[in-house]
Amino acid sequence: MPVSAHVVGWGYYLPSRRMDNETLEKQIDTTDEWIQERTGIRERRIAGPHESTATMAVEAAKAALQCSQLDPAKLDLIIVATITPDFIFPATACLVQDAIGATQAAAFDVSAGCSGFVYALALADQAIRAGSARNVLVIGADTLSRFVNWQDRSTCVLFGDGAGAIVLQASELPGGVVGTTWGCDGSGWELLYVPAGGCRQPASAETVSNGLHYLRMNGREVFRFAVGVVPRVTRALLEQLNMDVGDVDLFIPHQANARITAAVARQLGLENERVVDVIDWCGNTSAASIPIALCHAIETGRLKEGDLVVLAGFGAGLTWGAAAIVWDRVPTALPRGWLAFYYRWRYRLAAWRSRLRRQWRRFRDAISMRLHKRWREL
Ligand code: UT7
């Protein structure tokens, strides 16, 4: 029996610290009017000192797992889409795996800019269809506030921090993820990138003093690329499914700029009722923007059972991708009343387990060092 991947849980996390346009007006040469008119952004959320891509991803994951009522130990795979990982390595997904106690899951990150969530979703869908995973946690999370130059008005006004997650589950029922497509034009890598910190130009006092650890973007070119590629990739996906734009109930593009969303919607012939635009209250949250917008659409009752949802991403790389989902929910069993209590303890246990394993490794390492020293002395 062929299986397909169904969305059975979702959740998102935004840092509590808000930064509105008026605050930016006091820091750089900009105005609330310019930002709202040119981008549609009113405010964005900025990660606090104790928050990171991993901590936000964990919060989004917890919300999605509770929604799905799935035990974290039943997850087979965790994919985190991010371009702002906590470390160059290990993958942020490994930190999430540890924090939620997903003891049976493989974990890795996907770096595909703001298309990352759609790429991760496509990979998860393929893993489920191939039979190598039944339950997959897909997260988009980014902390771009740590990579923008807060003196560069052309970029710092755009980005915000956040994370969004979904749980995908194998089911013999039809529906769920019905199609995905993706692509890349690497010749555009210089349009949006961070020059230093990788192996080509490792971080040094010089790279930092020259500001090479900050994000660089050619906004106008990225704008042009987005407005061209998103309608194209959306139409290509629908064609692949023998459908057309008329079949789409809800369109969720990457939230980069309200003008991009409007231009894409215009080209596709989609009216406002069928397009999700949440950029005004969270800014461009990179790989997190599509799952956050999806969660918001669910929360505000914009998705009904049987609806066709199309997600479309574009971003650094240059990359793009689209996914079509027939919205349904395959419930899994777990008594609701106990849920919050159960998960609280599940995560507490995961933290204890993690601490114990780390301490055991330190202890084992110290003993073996001592034995090794003794042996060399003999
Ligand atoms: O997630 C994917 C990655 N990002 C994107 O998708 C972003 C895509 N690009 C964009 O959203 C837009 O290109 C921006 C919002 C970045 C810029 O808007 P624009 O309408 O393309 O502005 P522009 O770059 O053509 O600049 C127009 C003017 C310039 O002044 P001059 O040269 O005409 O005097 C800029 O210096 O606006 C100026 N400007 C600003 N003025 C006030 C640029 N940033 C600001 C600012 N406040 N924050």
Angle at 97 between CA 95 and CA 98, to 5 degrees: 65
Q: How far is the CA of 375 from the centre of ligand 1 (A)?
A: 66
Q: Work out the average pLDDT over 287-310.
A: 96
Ligand 1 proximity of 38 Cβ (cutoff 6 Å):
yes
Q: Evaluate whether 15 touches 45 at the Cβ level (below 8 Å).
A: yes
Tell me the CA distances in angstroms from 165 to 289, 302, 339, one per residue in order: 10, 18, 18
pLDDT of residue 58: 98
Mean pLDDT, rounded, for 249-268:
98
**C-alpha 13 to ligand 1 mean position (Å):** 28
Which of 53, 79, 73, 274 minimizes the C-alpha distance to 166?
79
pLDDT digits (tens, 9 = 90+) for 75-101: 999 999 999 999 999 999 999 999 999
Tell me which residue has its CA closest to atom 3 in ligand 1.
315
State if residue 226 touches ligand 1 by the CB under 6 angstroms criterion: yes
Beta strand 106-110 pairing with 308-315? unpaired
Atom of ligand 1 nearest to the CA of 222: 8
**Token output for 104:** 């049976």
**pLDDT the model gives residue 2:** 83
**CB of residue 257 inside a 6 A radius of ligand 1:** yes
Match domain 4-326 to its CATH number in 3.10.300.10, 3.40.50.300, 3.40.47.10, 3.50.50.60: 3.40.47.10
pTM of the model as a whole: 0.95
Contact 39, 158 (CB under 8 A): yes
Q: How far apart are the first and last CA of the chain?
A: 64
Dihedrals phi, psi of 350, to nearest 5 degrees: -60, -40
What amino acid positions are annotated as catalytic residues?
114, 254, 284
The protein residue with its alpha carbon nearest to ligand 1, atom 29, reads: 154
pLDDT band at 149 (very low <50, low <70, confident <90, very high): very high
Residues 257, 277: contact at Cβ < 8 Å? no
CA of 218 to the centre of ligand 1 (A): 9
Q: Is pLDDT above 80 for 330? A: no
Identify the pLDDT of residue 19: 98
Atom 14 of ligand 1, residue of closest alpha carbon = 219
Q: Is the predicted pLDDT of residue 333 greater than 90, yes or no?
A: no
Per DSSP, the three-state class of 120 is helix
Establish whether residue 154 lines the binding site of ligand 1, counting it when its CB lies within 6 angstroms of any ligand atom. yes
Question: What amino acid occupies position 98?
Answer: D
Q: Which of 256, 200, 201, 194 is nearest to 229 (CA)?
A: 256
Ligand 1 pocket, mutate which of 21, 23, 223 (most atoms under 8 A from CB) = 223
Average pLDDT, whole number, for the chain? 96
Cβ of 224 less than 6 Å from ligand 1 = no
Instruction: Give distance in angstroms: CA of 102 to centre of ligand 1.
Output: 42
Rounding to the nearest 10 degrees, give the CA dihedral for residues 235, 239, 242, 246. 20
Nearest CA to ligand 1 atom 30: 154
Quick one: pLDDT band at residue 332, thresholds 50, 70, 90? Answer: low
pLDDT tens figures, 335-370: 567 788 889 999 999 999 999 999 999 999 999 989
Ligand 1 centre distance from Cα of residue 220 (Å): 7
- What would the mean pLDDT of 148-164 be, rounded to a whole number? 97
Residue whose CA is closest, atom 36 of ligand 1? 154
